[in-house]
Amino acid sequence: MQSVVANASRRPVTGNLVVRASFRLHQLRSFTSLNSETPYNICFLRHGQSTWNRDNRFIGWTDTPLTEDGILEARAAGSIIRKSGMMFDEVHTSLLRRSIRTVNIVLMETGQEYIPVSKSWRLNERSYGDLVGHNKKDMVKKFGKDQVKRWRRSYNEPPPPMAPDHPYHPKFEPRYRDMIHKIPLSESLKDTVERSSVYWDRVIAPSLKEGKTLLVVGHENNLRSILMRLEGIHQDDMIHLSLPRSQPLAYRLDEETLEPLDSTLDGATGFLRGHWLGGDQTVAEILDRDHKQVYDTTIEHNLETESSQWKTTLMANKEAHAEYEEDERKVAS
């Protein structure tokens, strides 16, 4: 592009040059996206609250369902996306139902149930090994805050491996019957990066380069693994990056390099060049609550089940959607 601009001052643009430039643009964007109202081309979303999120337990590949609050969170996320004007051409998610159901709810809220949804084990949450099923705060009391944080957030320190007879071993799930040998007994973030990168390179990146707008619904550590690579975050800094549930994170990516086009870091985490569609302040409040829920042993009650500002925000979005549905009914009648 620089050579074209430089040469433009020396000679007129020829017809052949215009044809070549148009052909190159056509190659880059060979697909006409449904997303014509926003500049974003990918949105990341963590699933809504599951039963084990509510109970503060390590989940990993365990297939826990959404709670009633989790359904509300997913509806609120869909409402936020709908109000942003962002539309998608396809969705990518894991094989776990808390993520799959979040996809279904979000697409219902946005009126896009018709678009294709791809599911892959490579987008599953990281394996938490022998920690699976245990209460997180109990593990903090037993092993200490620093150790649990390294297991949860560091780049290359996996939790202790899961025993073959562990009651929540994924090998008992029929969805993995053809890939028993691939089931990890424990994973670090590094391991998760390796498997999510395969899916990004083979599936997501080609779709983005075609000009499609994508929704990726997943799990905290799997999304962290994707964002680490996308943002070029150093492995030593990853221990400080956490992601909230049900808060859409939208990016403008260069269609050729797939690098973020914005230079300003978000105000909630300080690491990301995407835009929290629900606002940085809401995200910051949720992350603060999540941190206390796991690491603050002076708090004995469950912060996931008490009324707070983040839940008030979700209710506001639910009420806004109810008004929208009522308006739609009036128009239809």
Known catalytic residues are 47, 125
Structural contact between residues 253 and 42, judged by C-beta atoms closer than 8 angstroms: yes
User: Distance between CA 86 and CA 40 in Å, rounded?
Assistant: 7
Q: What is the distance of C-alpha 9 from the center of its chain?
A: 45
Phi-psi region of 124 (alpha: psi -120 to 50; beta: other; left: phi over 0): beta
| Dist CA 215 CA 50 (whole Å) | 20
Buried b (16+ CB within 10 A) or exposed e, 249-263: bbbbbeeeebebeee
CB of 92 within 8 A of CB of 121? no
Task: Kindly give, in sequence order, each residue whose CB lies less than 8 Å from that of residue 330, ignoring residues fewer than 6 positions away.
Answer: none
